[in-house]
Amino acid sequence: MTATPSPPSVIVVFPKAETENRWQQALARALAGRAPRLAVRTFHAAGESLRDGPAPEALYAVGWEPPAKFFERNPQLRAFFSAGAGVDHLLRHPGLPPSVTVVRLEDAGMASQMAEYCCHEVFTLFRRYRDYEQQQHNGVWAELRTVRRGDFVIGVFGLGVLGTHVATTLAGFGYSVIGYSRSPRSLPGIECYSGPGQLDTFLGRSRVLILLAPLTAQTENIIDAHALKRLPAGAHVINVARGGLLDEQALLESLDSGHLASARLDVFRTEPLPVGHPFWFHPKIRLTPHVAAMTLLHQSVEQISDKIAALERGDQVTGCIERDRGY
């Protein structure tokens, strides 16, 4: 008996079956009008059917952290759409074939969330809201001095889709904002630095350092003990990029020595942050569980479906990863 070949499809893969189901339904609705020849399946269900049927002809994949055998089971794959802006979860996968185009989310509702998160922290630091909370706790009525706005320089490390939005939003509130990227950038009202030769100068001016670059071979541990020493005394670090950019031990030592004043962390080397990790109860660290900019289902599915339809027509899409630079 010859098996009937499966229709060309999009395969949805997430660590949790429930997430796969939500994405499968949303993608099936969005693609029905854009690329009707494509069926949309979930990896967990397709994995089951492999035991007794032909492998589904998945041409496109959408998801996060595919399991070990994912690429082996989907040999026809042309493109993998990350359900996030970051692609480190894909590029470190040992089975990712060089022929598969990796595409990331571009904003899709994340830039405004990232700006909210970073502005909230910068406002809290600059206006000393935590000191006022402490004063209330102690029944104290007193006006606190703030530094001159021009002296409170905010350094945004990574001037891509998210970093640019964060930098320009903060500049819009009148802060002095500087930026740092791999290649030279030019943004109105923002002094831009680039390349390893300008990193120390950028760090030396950053009273608040916001990390918003991808995790790559070049950025891994880039904020180490040396880099932290370059920051002005009393500086603050906000990490909303990836935990791997920051040397955790060096951060703790810098906070404990009094050189760094505080850290606001959303991302960690190991997530969830392990029980008993020193970050949990450190008095100078405030943390959130990787929520600075969450993937929004509707906007993401719209963006990905438009790109799948474009690829089906033979058109180019934006947001494709350059494998050799790692983002």
**Site residues (CB under 6 A) for ligand GLV, limited to 286-325:** 295
**Active site (annotated) includes residue 290:** yes
Structure letter (DSSP) for residue 294: P
> Closer CB to ligand GLV, residue 58 or residue 293?
293
Structure-token pair, residue 100: 């598969």
Task: Select from ligand GLV, ligand NAP, none the partner in contact with residue 218, using the beta carbon and a kind-dependent cut-off of 5 to 8 Å.
Answer: ligand NAP
238 beta partners: 210, 264
Residue nearest to ligand NAP (CB): 160
Strand order from edge to edge, sheet including 260-265: 191-194, 177-181, 154-157, 208-211, 235-239, 260-265, 285-287
Residue 327 binding result from ligand NAP, ligand GLV, none, given CB thresholds of 5 to 8 Å by partner type:
ligand NAP
The separation between the first and the last C-alpha atoms of the chain, rounded to the nearest angstrom, is: 46
Angle between helices 129-137 and 110-126 (to 10 degrees): 60
x/- mask, ligand GLV, residues 85-114, rule CB under 6 A, reads xx----------------------------
By beta-carbon proximity to ligand GLV, the closer residue of 84 and 163 is: 84
Q: 41, 236, 242, 264: which one is catalytic?
A: 242
* Size of the residue set binding ligand GLV (CB under 6 A): 4
Binding mask 60-89 for ligand GLV (x = CB under 6 A): ------------------------xxx---
Summarize as ranges the residues that interact with ligand NAP (CB under 6 A): 84-86, 110, 158-163, 180-183, 185, 212-216, 218-219, 240-242, 266-267, 290, 292-293, 327
- The reply on whether position 155 binds ligand GLV by CB under 6 A is no
Measured from the CB of residue 290, what is the shortest distance to ligand GLV in angstroms? 6
Cβ(218)–Cβ(231) below 8 Å: no
Active site residue 242: yes
Closest approach, Cβ 55 to ligand NAP, in A, equals 32
- Looking at residue 2, the DSSP 8-state letter turns out to be P
Asked, as a colleague might, if the bond just before 272 is cis with ω within 30 of 0, I would say yes
Alpha-carbon gap, residue 220 to 214, rounded angstroms: 9
* Collapsed DSSP state (helix, strand, coil) of residue 191: strand
Shortest Å, Cβ 222 to ligand NAP: 7
The single residue listed with the structure tokens 């499968």 is 24
Q: How far is the C-alpha of 207 from the C-alpha of 279, rounded, in Å? A: 21
Structure tokens at 153: 């320089």
Nearer to ligand GLV, 86 or 232 (CB): 86
Planar angle of CA 238, 272, 240, nearest 5 degrees = 20
Identify what 162 binds: ligand GLV, ligand NAP, none; CB under 5 to 8 Å per kind.
Answer: ligand NAP
Q: Which residue of the set 277, 286, 290, 323 is catalytic?
A: 290
Quote the CA–CA distance of 35 and 308 in Å, as a whole number. 8
Contact at 8 Å (CB) between 117 and 240?
Answer: yes
Residues lying near ligand GLV in the complex (CB under 6 A): 84-86, 295
Active site residues: 242, 290
